[in-house]
A and B are shown apart, each in its own frame.
Chain A
Amino acid sequence: MRIRPPRRWEAVDLRVIWHYRDLLVAFAVRDIKLRYRQTLLGVIWVLIQPLMAAGIFSFVFGRIAKLDSGNIPYFPFAYTGLLAWNLFSSTVLKSAGSLVGNASLVSKVFFPRLLLPFSGAVSTLVDFAIAAAAGCVLLLAYQVTPGFSIVLAPFWLLFLVLFALGIGMFCAALAVRFRDVNHILPVLLQLMLYGSPVAYTLAIIPPGLPMLLYKLNPMATLLHGFRVAIFGEGYVGFPSTIYAITASLLMFVIGMIFFRRMERQFADVI
């Protein structure tokens, strides 16, 4: 093996990441274990949180503000929206905080740094799986039978996670130098939550230019698509789909390139 000064551009060696897969799992397992250690209810929190959030959404937006949820009862509507949204926002936050949160590791041990943001995504997916299982029960309780379209749900989630990881990697690398990121990110996510169809449907956005601008946020189409897949109601336009996929992939690539470019400084600056 040869060590030399880094070149400006260096390809991601996926074999190295594969070689370190045990560590990826170990980080994710550590995350999950730590999150629910010394809690009375443990993993049940994975369910309580989105259920309570969906309850609050139903009351505030469904009951009081009377936001439109189409033909779907508001509670499962909000729950599915929050399910996907939480996957997105937790992935962003976890991967963005992963470098600074493991500063001592970064400055003392070698391993592919990309493992840290990736492991954030893995541990979030576990939470998501549990909450999604509860979502299925919820749908049964509301006697909503998902159509065949539900097989498309993972497709939307894949791009949602890639998009989140892209933002996460970008912010993680930036946070090594500028801790401001940790403060601004929650605020931006909050803003984005209201700018995405979580509490309402796309139907309330006026068509034409407003809709076009609204859909600049790839989350608009990704969340909408996910819901359409679950409930089998409505449709997703082809151009929006292409745009959302391209934008998420682009964000993922940009995030990764930026991360790789900054990577060499991590141990010195962090």
Chain B
Amino acid sequence: MSSDLAISVRGVGKTFQVATTQHRPTTLGELLMQKLKNPFGSSQPTHQFEALEDVSFEVKRGEVLGIVGRNGAGKSTLLKILSRITPPTRGEIDIYGRVGALLEVGTGFHPELTGRENIFLNGTILGMRKTEIQKRFDEIVAFSEVEEFLDTPVKRYSSGMYVRLAFAVAAHLEPEILIVDEVLAVGDASFQKKCLGKMGDASRNEGRTVLFVSHNMAAMRALCSRAILMDAGRMMIDGDVSAVTKSYLKNEKSAPAMFTWEDQEAPSHGGFAFRRVSILNGLGESSATVSHDESFTVCIEYEMDSAAAGIRVGFLIQNSEGIDICGSNDVHASGSQSRGANRYVSRCRFPGYLLNEGRYQLQFGADALHGKIYIRTPFCLSFSVEDTERHSDSRHLLPGVLRPLLEWGIEPRN
């Protein structure tokens, strides 16, 4: 029975003690004071926080299991337990095979060491033998695309090079069971694709078992056949990946996607201050995820202390590869009339069937004639476009930035 089983998790739970009323002593002095005040009590009142509760599942050899859930749902705790970084409080886990865990890209990389030295150090930290690394060294270097800088300390690397090198080492780990946490969130999209490909190969061709946490539903669907949805430390659904991702996105929709600036922090200039920015879905609800076929609206709320002539408020939208999709401002709506002191909302509606699936981020700006106002905010809002209806037979992302609904016709030609 166990011959085709890779992981068996039975009733696993993890409890953290969290100090409630009193603050937990973190210096010896505080501990002594507490002990003196209350020498017999069980040090401090704590309440228990259940990070994981009664989690059970099995993973077969060669299976790719996705784990999805909101932040704080217990995904990372589960992975940490599976990779033996922290022990469970309850339950039992059987693991059949060598585990390689990748909870962070570049763990153990040291900025002062060169790329070459870091390959060896990082590889060893991830559990490779020195001889294994030597054997695969050239492959790792080729995958990372940083050959020329091998003998440069990695502190001089660009962040992209750093991530590529780190992932290259990790991708050449050869465990029977690979545990990966949201590491693909970093790095440029083309490299992400390469990594996803590498992970896909691992499970398809080499029969490797993969456990994979991500917020990227497209990647999830591309890689996994089965997924687990977690919420508040519990397993909600264990099933087909499209059912799980759909359910996740449905819940996720209710989460507000807006960014509000505190008074002092609001980007302001010349009597103009940004207040709040948000994305509304087709139903007019604030949402971090919109379906590719629905329209959505970018809302910008701002306040003006005094009138400004020729004011323009707008945004720039960029995809996860850093490509500018478009920029737009409300100049056409306002003409060239000036706006008086007041609080305003400028809205810009995008039609459905415009953007391809993926993650997008926005930055905002405002200016007025003669430079009276000139502000640009950092990228502070992001949202995803998802195809929630996508069927399992067309799991692959369509290429390109746009995903328009185009008219095709087929007719016989004589």
Contacts and interface: CB of A to CB of B under 8 A. Distances in A.
Interface of A: 1-6, 22-23, 26, 30, 33-34, 37-38, 104-111, 177-180, 264, 267-268
A173 B107 CA distance: 21
Given A26-B125, A30-B117, A267-B80, 4 more contacts: A5-B90, A37-B112, A37-B113, A264-B86
Interface string B93-109: 11110010101100110
B129 A22 contact: yes
Contact of A110 (B26, B88, B101): B101
A268 B88 contact: no
Nearest to A34: B112
14 contacts: A3-B94, A4-B88, A5-B87, A5-B89, A5-B91, A6-B87, A33-B117, A34-B112, A106-B85, A109-B108, A110-B101, A178-B28, A179-B27, A264-B86
Interface residues of B, number: 41
A166 B322 CA distance: 52
B257 to A, nearest CB: 29
A36 to B, nearest CB: 11
B58 interface: no
A109 B107 contact: yes
Given A26-B120, A109-B101, A109-B108, A180 B84 contact: no
Interface string B54-98: 000000000000000000000000001111111111111111100
A22 B130 contact: yes
B241 interface: no
Q: Give the most central of A105, A109, A179, A267: most B CB within 10 Å.
A: A109
Nearest to A37: B112
Given A2-B94, A3-B87, A105 B108 contact: yes
Contacts of B112: 34, 37-38
Contacts of A22: 124, 129-130
A147 to B, nearest CB: 41
A105 B88 CA distance: 19
B16 interface: yes
B318 to A, nearest CB: 30
A109 B85 contact: yes
A6 B120 CA distance: 32
A26 B129 CA distance: 11
Given A4-B92, A30-B113, A109 B86 contact: no
B126 interface: yes
B110 interface: yes
Contact of B126 (A5, A33, A34, A109): A109
Contacts of B29: 180
Interface in B98-153: 99, 101, 103-104, 107-108, 110, 112-113, 117, 120-121, 124-127, 129-130
